Structure 1
Amino acid sequence: MATRVLIVDDDRDTADFLKLLVEPRGDLARTASDAAQAREILRSWRPEVALMDLMLPDADGIDLLKDFKEASPETQVIMVTGYGSVPKAVEAMKAGAFSFIEKPVDADVLLVMLDKATEKLQLSAENKRLKEELRDHTSFANIVARSDKMRQLFHLIKSVAPTDASVLIHGENGTGKELVASAIHEHSKRKKGPFIKINCAALPSELIESELFGHKRGAFTGAVSDKTGLMELADGGSLLLDEIGEMPASLQVKLLRVLQDREFRPVGGNRVIQPNFRLICATNINLDAALGEGKLREDLYFRINTVTLAIPALRDRTEDILLLAEHFLDRFSGQHQRNIRSIKPEAAKALLRYRWPGNVRELEHVIERAVIVAEGTDITLDDLPPTIRDAERLPNQTGFVIPPHHTLEEIEKLAILQTLERTRGNKRKAASILGVYRPTLYNKLKKYNLLETQERAPRAQASAPPAPGPNSGAALGNPPAAPAPPAAPTFKPPVPEV
């Protein structure tokens, strides 16, 4: 297949000579005498290979090279340099040039370069095809994964989606609960209907009721017009109630009545509406604990929990980390018009070591940031945030052995204490090792009344008594006093927490 070759040189004799070398190969050649003409041809013709002079009348060749690599990363650029401009050509290589050749151009050398550039184009096209084929086998309804745990989840989604059963999705923040809910809808018989979603934790209780049920004009202060509720809008489709565990108790009663009677009235209205939607709920909290604490009605729980889908945390499916990272790299390289090709091995190792407390959402943000700040064509270790660069290995990061016969609260408190002791009070490192954000660690320290202890510790070390001197009891031959045993931690009454 003919390769499209653009020759950019203001010297007409050189341009014609290069064209005579290229065309007998069966390639298609066009010439441009300056950068402006080259950019115009790039937009309309998309050359696969460019032979580009370093010195142009209206632009620096390296600037034009950068424009080409941004607009068409797959174009292979061979820089043509004059005598004495080799350092400049090396700079061009760092900016993404495929190779460079000095003037006067050696025909045999140039033809070999063109063969290699064409071979690279073919390899890139094959690699892209294989990536797309791999993506077909490692994604399901926009969820990218290849781990056994996620494959099992995909199988469950395919099984439950065609039914009208209520589904409860459980997973930590950032695991992709909304994507799973969307996958259920897209594989259901309701896929042509609307997919309506609401986050129960994002709105005050009085607004959630109005959002769900709708209201009539004048039903309350501020109700200046009629409003159609999301339950009515979801008719014939699916309704996702995200963070269902945060729904106010008063609203839980009304939701239960709708699920039982399949009808409701808008706030302040008399018209009875009989909705026909499939209910999907999602939560990141332990609903069994919420039941025990009275935060969730038991009868509602059984109504929404016909089928439960648990999404594993990213740290529990490490084989998906690099696959997702490559997926995000491809997406953000195109979105931000950056020519980022791969993730360097050291950076990949750091991604695998990190515990990802924010799960897939955190990984997505980390890769987007890396694509933006990367100076070359690859993501390096320096392009990652310090918390990831400095992260320790996943297995047994804390070195904490779970003691028997303790409650979850006691174990959590011990883990925090031991990790802070290990990091010498460095809360940023402790949070990274424990796999939580620093604000979460501070909340735990407050909960267990450990903040003051941690703040006193440095002062206590600073004001510690000096080591025994020549006039101390030890110097006189008296045995040193035995150190006091460490005080046993005191624990609050156990309250299960997950």
Structure 2
Amino acid sequence: MKTNTGAVLVVDDEKTIADGLRLTLESEGYAVHTTGSVRDALAAFAQCEAEAAIVDLMLPDGDGLNLTRELRRRDPSLQVIVITAYGSVRKAMEATKGAGAFHVLEKPFDPDELLGLVRSALDHRRLVVENTNLRRRLADRAADSEILGQAPGIQRVLETVAAVADADANVLIIGESGTGKELVADALHERSRRRGGPWVKINCAALPKDLIESELFGHTRGAFTGATSDKTGLLEEADGGSLLLDEITEMPAELQAKLLRVLEERAVRRVGAAKAVPVDFRLISSTNRSPEAALREGRLRQDLFFRINTVSIDVPPLRERREDIPILVRAFLERYRAKHGRDVGGIEPEAYRRLLSYAWPGNVRELQNALERAVLVTRGPQITLEDLPEPFQGADTEPGVAPTVAPSEVPVGSLEEIERASILRALETTKWNKQAAAALLGLRRPTLYSKMRKHGIPQRRP
């Protein structure tokens, strides 16, 4: 018995042929489900999760080509092999091109040839699935890594990133939780000369205090109880790339001293090791605390602060860049309705006014989570106030937090209208310089052109 994996649907109304195909495929380890009609095939396909199908061209209740089209409509990665005793060249061409069949095989056929085709079909399917998943991951990564906004504060962030990304200077990113500090760090690495090297992220607040030294610096076998083998630390793993120390003020003071030594000597000594290992990485740190307060409270060593703070980037809270909320709402709404396959066309006016008047103590992350939740729970074509999280239900703002803008001051209009107005405002501000307007809006230039066409905005100033 061979150990091939994969489920195959066989559709042939001649029982002897269907049984023969089943026995041949099962002898090679495949899971096989046989049917003899279009109707039964569609019912079986919904249950058996087939990865490949062998379909007879002529079936008692329909055409094998139409069945092939329907099966591939339901699962575009499904690979279909059409078998026929009717050696029509026209039909064969239609099967492979029009219906999307993987191959056409004429009866009678050699079982070994069929098995080879099934293996090739499943290999092709795996490749298609891998490529689809990769494209989805890259699209998600691109969407998640895009820093959106046109407010002056976020534009200063983008300008600083562009100015220092390709340098090796240490950078300290300062901002409240949820403002997008990690996105800024990602942008610094991706635009640097080290983008082809490792990108190691360490959340200093998440590492247990009794393990943080070993995780950061590594250890040798026998260095302490439980150290049964050598371990490479995260600082070593960052060699040749960039290192993010997230929430650096949460690192124990004694380890801050060791980190300072690493930065000064450009070498790491594992716990229990006699010699240090040279390392070369670009350090990016972040904190949600005021560095001055952290220094006063003893949470951050002054000598380390001077070393990590060659360049500082302050990421503004969302309440200080509320003009960016329409842009962020549109981006998150489009992202999550595509991700979850929900037909959500917009947001009802009252719900939208609450989004714009809310204080957002959790910043962009809170807005992102609120929009994803609303897309998932809404039952209609538009998000309503009831679809938003609890803090939005009882009042215009979060209890105990002053509104950033009175509800009467919130601009009226749909998301489409506000997006169009934002683009026109950016174009006017930049005297219709498309590249500058795209940068102001936090968009790529092709995206700006696409949105201008969508909103009927001319390419030249009227």
Contact 2:236–2:268 under 8 Å retained in 1 = no
1:153 match = 157
Post-superposition CA distance 1:156-179 (Å, at most 9, x none): 000011111000000000111111
CA distance in 1, matches of 2:318, 2:345: 24
Matched residue, 1:316 = 320
- Equivalences for 1:178-257 in 2 at 5 Å? 178-257=182-261
Matching residue of 1:119: none
Aligned residue number for residue 392 of structure 1: 396
Q: Distance in 1 between matches of 2:197 and 2:314?
A: 25
Q: Which of 233-242 and 218-227 deviates more?
A: 218-227
Partner of 1:489: none
Matched, 1:168 2:138: no
Which residue does 1:360 correspond to in 2? 364
Rounded Cα–Cα distance in structure 1 between residues aligned with 2:68 and 2:266? 67
Q: Is the 8 A contact 1:139 1:145 kept in 2?
A: no
The 2-side partners of 1:331 and 1:200 are apart by 30
CA offset at residue 39 of structure 1? 5.7
Q: How does 1:22-33 map to 2 (within 5 A)?
A: none
Question: Structure 1 residues 429, 44: CA separation in 2 closer, same or farther (over 3 Å shift)?
Answer: closer
Matched, 1:429 2:433: no
CA separation in 1, counterparts of 2:356 and 2:70? Answer: 41
Q: State how far apart, in whole Å, the 1-side matches of 2:186 and 2:226 are.
A: 33
Count matched residues: 277
Letter paired with 1:243: E
**Partner residue, 1:351:** 355
| AA aligned opposite 2:283 | L
2:295 to 291, 301, 319: 291
User: 1:189 offset after TM fit, Å?
Assistant: 0.7
Change (3 A) 1:140 1:162: farther
Q: Give the number of the structure whose alpha-carbon radius of gyration is greater.
A: 1
SS in 1 for 2:277: coil
Unaligned ranges ≥5, structure 1: 1-30, 46-134, 394-427, 436-498
1:277 CA drift (Å): 0.1
Distance (whole Å) between structure 2 residues aligned to residue 339 and residue 263 of structure 1: 54
Instruction: State the shift of 1:204 in Å.
Output: 2.2
Q: Taking structure 1 as reference, are residues 232 and 163 closer, same or farther at Cα in structure 2, changes over 3 Å only?
A: same
Distance (Å, rounded) in 2 between the aligned partners of 1:232 and 1:370? 43
CA distance in 1, matches of 2:213, 2:359: 38
- Paired with 2:181 and 2:322, the residues of 1 have a C-alpha distance of 18
- CA shift digits 1:399-455 (9 cap, x unpaired): xxxxxxxxxxxxxxxxxxxxxxxxxxxxx822x4489xxxxxxxxxxxxxxxxxxxx
Local SS of the residue matching 2:359: coil
Distance of aligned partners of 1:233 and 1:148 in 2 relative to their CA distance in 1, 3 Å threshold: same
Given that 1:174 and 1:359 are in contact with CA atoms closer than 8 Å, whether structure 2 keeps it comes out as yes
Alignment CA distance shift 1:43-1:223 (3 Å): same
Within 5 Å, give how 1:399-414 maps onto structure 2. none
Query: Matches of 2:148 and 2:212 in 1, distance apart?
Result: 32
The answer (yes or no) to whether the contact 1:214–1:228 under 8 Å persists in 2 is yes
Cα pair 1:237 1:278 within 8 Å, conserved: yes
CA distance in 2, matches of 1:140, 1:380: 25
CA RMSD in angstroms, aligned pairs only = 2.7
Q: What is the CA–CA distance in structure 2 between the aligned matches of 1:151 and 1:389, rounded to whole Å? A: 33
Q: TM-score, normalised by structure 2?
A: 0.56
Alignment of 1:445-456 (within 5 A): none
CA contact (8 A) 1:322 1:348 kept: no
Q: Is the 8 A contact 2:358 2:403 kept in 1?
A: no
Residues of 2 paired with 1:246 and 1:44: CA distance? 49
Supply the distance in 2 between the matched residues of 1:327 and 1:353 (Cα, whole angstroms).
Answer: 18
Give 1:392's aligned amino acid.
Answer: D
Quote how far apart the aligned CAs of 1:317 are: 0.6
Distance in 2, matches of 1:369 and 1:36, equals 38
Aligned to 2:373: 369
Residues 140 and 335 of structure 1, relative CA distance in 2, 3 Å threshold: closer
**Match of 1:376, as an amino acid?**
G
- TM-score, scaled to structure 1: 0.52
Instruction: Give the residue type in structure 2 aligned to 1:353.
Output: S
Q: Distance in 2 between matches of 1:217 and 1:353?
A: 57
Distance 1:228 1:44 in 2: 44
After superposition, the Cα gap between the structure-2 partners of 1:172 and 1:194, relative to the gap in structure 1 and judged at 3 Å, is: same
SS in 1 for 2:223: coil
Cα shift at 1:329: 1.5
SS of 2:255 mapped into structure 1: helix
Tell me how far apart the structure 2 counterparts of residues 192 and 280 of structure 1 sit (CA, whole Å). 16
Q: Secondary structure at the match of 2:244?
A: strand
1:57-84 Cα offsets, whole Å, 9 max, x none, are xxxxxxxxxxxxxxxxxxxxxxxxxxxx
The separation in 1 between residues aligned to 2:251 and 2:75, in whole angstroms, is 55
**Equivalent residue number for residue 449 of structure 1:** none
Question: What displacement does 1:296 show?
Answer: 1.5
Equivalent residue letter for 1:429:
P
- Partners of 1:39 and 1:341 lie apart in 2 by 28
Select 2:264's aligned residue among 260, 263, 267: 260
SS in 2 for 1:150: helix
CA contact (8 A) 1:353 1:391 kept: no
- Once residues 360 and 145 of structure 2 are traced to their aligned partners in structure 1, the CA distance between those partners, rounded to angstroms, is 23
The answer to whether the 8 A contact 1:194-1:237 is kept is: yes
8 Å CA contact 1:262, 1:275 repeated in 2: yes
CA distance in 2, matches of 1:284, 1:238: 20
- In percent, how many aligned pairs have the same letter? 53
Q: 1:39 to 1:333 in 2, by over 3 A?
A: farther
Query: CA separation of 1:206/1:140 partners in 2, compared to 1, >3 Å: closer, same or farther?
Result: closer
Specify the SS of the correspondent of 1:328: helix
- Corresponding residue to 1:269 among 268, 273, 297: 273
Aligned to 1:7: none
Task: Kindly indicate whether the alpha-carbon contact (under 8 Å) linking 1:333 and 1:340 is maintained by their aligned counterparts in 2.
Answer: yes
CA–CA distance in 1 between the matches of 2:69 and 2:380?
Answer: 24
SS in 1 for 2:155: helix
Give the 3-state SS of the residue equivalent to 1:308 in structure 2.
Answer: strand
Q: Which amino acid aligns with 2:174?
A: H
**Distance (whole Å) between structure 2 residues aligned to residue 264 and residue 41 of structure 1:** 55
Q: In the TM superposition, what is the alpha-carbon distance from 1:146 to its structure 2 partner?
A: 2.2
The CA deviation at 1:143 is 1.4
Cα 1:36–1:321 shift into 2, 3 Å: farther
